Chains A and B, each alone.
Chain A
């Protein structure tokens, strides 16, 4: 299979996640709980349905998730 990264990425951004998802407001409300569950090795996706799909579809929320996860996990400045 030949890789078509540009096409894949752009189609992903255009079509978004296939799964049901929450919106940005609900994502922000649940983000702290979700990240702590992730770091505790618990099933965050079952506990907070639709958040993982939203992170796949919303780059701004994904950045904030990644930052919170990194801050809580390590907390050291890069």
Chain B
């Protein structure tokens, strides 16, 4: 397992790390999961089991495609079905490669579904961003309307925004600034940014996490009451 829990930020101040995942105790496999593993490993049943597994993964991939279809009006039915089939094919390869990693912490079918959903959602995000520029610079801070705020609240908001903008400019490394801007301000999906920057999702999220911790620490040291401004 790739764990992203030990890094600090080089010469900058250390920040709170991502926490290590818990390790579950292996539990006895349920009968259905045992049967999946047995048939996928045995020579005489493997081919038929792989076909059933592919059908299961295709069902999950089609489920994901159908959920996201309203956000993808430019894709036609054939395109969407191609994406679902490609996702099922890729998920099948991942599942077969990682069969020994299945710990029985869930049912086998739940475990395999997540591979199909991951592949389908990643492919759909890729299609949605195909040919689009990935903005790494901040667009505007003017989206924050202060209309209707009491004068005290306006002043507080203004102070918060100025401090935050300065922190982004001064406290973060250039890489942290670009990643934070793209992901948090400009809404670029993390796997799209990972592909464009030739890195991976886990590494990018760690960069985002470190940047966020530094901003929180900076604002906290200046006595800004963040709880008043964040979602409940």
* Mask of B186-228 contacts with A, CB within 8 angstroms, 1/0: 0001110000000001100110110011011001000000100
Interface: B145 (CB within 8 A): yes
- With A25-B1, A60-B190 in contact, do A15 and B114 touch (Cβ < 8 Å)? no
* Mask of A2-29 contacts with B, CB within 8 angstroms, 1/0: 1010111111111110101111111011
Query: Which B-chain residue is minimally distant from A66 (CB atoms)?
Result: B67
B208 to nearest A CB, angstroms? Answer: 7
Q: Decide: B148 and A2 in contact? CB cutoff 8 A.
A: yes
Interface residue tally on B, bucketed by range:
35 or more
Q: Decide: B19 and A49 in contact? CB cutoff 8 A.
A: yes
Interface: B106 (CB within 8 A): yes
Q: Decide: A23 and B205 in contact? CB cutoff 8 A.
A: yes
Q: CA A50 – CA B3 in complex, angstroms?
A: 13
Q: CA A67 – CA B59 in complex, angstroms?
A: 13
Query: Which A-chain residue is minimally distant from B212 (CB atoms)?
Result: A16
Q: CA A23 – CA B215 in complex, angstroms?
A: 18
Q: CA A31 – CA B110 in complex, angstroms?
A: 9
B contacts with A: majority SS: helix
Enumerate B48-105 residues with CB–CB distance to A below 8 Å.
60, 62-64, 66-67, 105
Residues of B within 8 A of A26 (CB): 1, 3-4, 18, 20-21
A32 to nearest B CB, angstroms? Answer: 4
Residues of A within 8 A of B206 (CB): 23
**A–B Cβ pairs within 8 angstroms, 5 of them:** A11-B226, A28-B118, A30-B22, A32-B114, A67-B121
Q: Spell out A's residues near B (CB within 8 Å).
A: 2, 4, 6-16, 18, 20-26, 28-33, 35-36, 47-50, 57-60, 63-64, 67-68, 70-72, 75, 77-78
Q: Spell out B's residues near A (CB within 8 Å).
A: 1-5, 16, 18-22, 24, 60, 62-64, 66-67, 105-107, 110-111, 113-114, 117-118, 121, 125, 143-145, 148-150, 153, 157, 164, 168, 180, 183-185, 189-191, 201-202, 205-206, 208-209, 212-213, 215-216, 219, 226, 229-231
* Beyond A33-B105, A63-B121, 12 additional pairs, beta carbon < 8 A: A4-B144, A11-B164, A21-B18, A25-B4, A25-B201, A26-B1, A28-B118, A32-B110, A33-B24, A60-B121, A67-B64, A78-B66
